[in-house]
């Protein structure tokens, strides 16, 4: 466990356990992922103005500001499971958003590097990760389409936002045999699972998804 023990109400814990039961009924069977989802306090990653009146453990996205959302719990679990992460692997996340997906990856034992183009969201995610006990996650404000070259290669890449096509930099920063889970096309697109073999990506379609777009732009002040 990477996060710190938190004082939580019994109701919050029960809500989170019900959330994970629903995810498991929908077909996510990876025991490590389910255990991580039981431990990470999703409500801590929703900014306070959006938490009021929200259902933080409902299986749906929730707004976090700047037109962005915290991803549906099922999608977080599915994308984490399809990568088949092993403790100690190095993971690049593109689209930090609230920081929740990064926390789940860290709870799985990954070394997490996460990029967010919106400075306010990157700052919120940093605070939320620290508060929840995931201070070792590396957060950077930057253009996700360009990846994090100086930290490459990565064992896995997970994108929480959708480009029109896979940015070459992301595929190029995967090690040989590395895996990628990425939605392509926004707002309506498809989730792809890819593996790097022989210097190229081999991809398969998982199912249709709706994600916010990945923008190929530099953050303000960059």
Q: What is the mean pLDDT of the chain?
A: 94
pLDDT at 105 over 70: yes
What confidence score (pLDDT) does residue 96 get?
97
* Cα 194 to Cα 55: distance, rounded to the nearest angstrom: 33
Catalytic residue among 9, 71, 80, 98: 71
Q: Does the structure show a pLDDT above 90 at 117?
A: yes
| pLDDT above 90 as % of the chain | 84
CATH of 10-210, one of 3.10.20.30, 2.40.10.340, 3.40.980.20, 3.40.50.150: 3.40.50.150
Residue 7 has pLDDT above 70, yes or no: no
Q: CA 186 to CA 29: how far, in whole Å?
A: 28
What is the β-pairing status of strands 138-141 and 154-159?
unpaired
Indicate if 186 belongs to the active site: no
Where residue 185 falls (left for φ over 0; alpha for ψ -120 to 50; beta otherwise) is: left
Q: Per-residue pLDDT tens for 50-74?
A: 888 789 999 999 889 888 889 999 9
Q: Where are the beta strands (DSSP E) in 117-199?
A: 138-141, 154-159, 174-184, 188-197
Largest CA distance in the chain: 50
- On whether the CB atoms of residues 111 and 155 are closer than 8 A, the answer is no
| 221 has pLDDT over 80 | no
Radius of gyration of the chain (CA): 16
pLDDT at 1 > cutoff 70: no
SS3 content of the chain, % helix, strand, coil (to 5): 35, 30, 40
Task: Name the pLDDT band for 222 (thresholds 50, 70, 90).
Answer: low
Q: Give residue 3's pLDDT.
A: 58
- Average pLDDT on 18-30 reads 97
Under the banding of pLDDT at 50, 70 and 90, the label for residue 14 is very high
CB 149 within 8 A of CB 99: no
| Mean pLDDT score, 124-128 | 97
162 DSSP β-pair partners: 213
């Amino acid at each position: 466990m990477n996060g710190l023990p938190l004082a939580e109400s019994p109701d919050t814990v029960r809500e989170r356990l019900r959330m994970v039961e629903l995810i498991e009924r929908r077909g996510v069977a990876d025991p490590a992922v389910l255990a991580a989802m039981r431990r990470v306090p999703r409500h801590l990653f929703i900014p306070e103005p959006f938490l009021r009146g929200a259902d933080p453990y409902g299986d749906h996205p929730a707004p976090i500001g700047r037109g962005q959302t915290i991803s549906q719990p099922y999608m977080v679990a599915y994308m984490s499971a399809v990568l088949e992460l092993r403790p100690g692997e190095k993971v690049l996340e593109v689209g930090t958003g609230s920081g929740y997906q990064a926390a789940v990856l860290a709870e799985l034992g990954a070394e997490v590097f996460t990029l967010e183009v919106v400075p306010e969201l990157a700052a919120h995610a940093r605070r939320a990760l620290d508060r929840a006990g995931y201070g070792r996650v590396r957060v950077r404000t930057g253009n996700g389409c360009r990846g994090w070259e100086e930290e490459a290669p990565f064992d896995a890449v997970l994108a929480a936002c959708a480009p029109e096509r896979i940015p070459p930099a992301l595929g190029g920063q995967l090690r040989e045999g590395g895996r990628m889970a990425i939605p392509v096309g926004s707002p309506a697109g498809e989730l792809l699972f890819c593996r790097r073999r022989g210097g190229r990506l081999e991809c398969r379609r998982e199912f249709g998804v709706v994600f916010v777009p990945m923008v190929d732009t530099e953050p303000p002040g960059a």
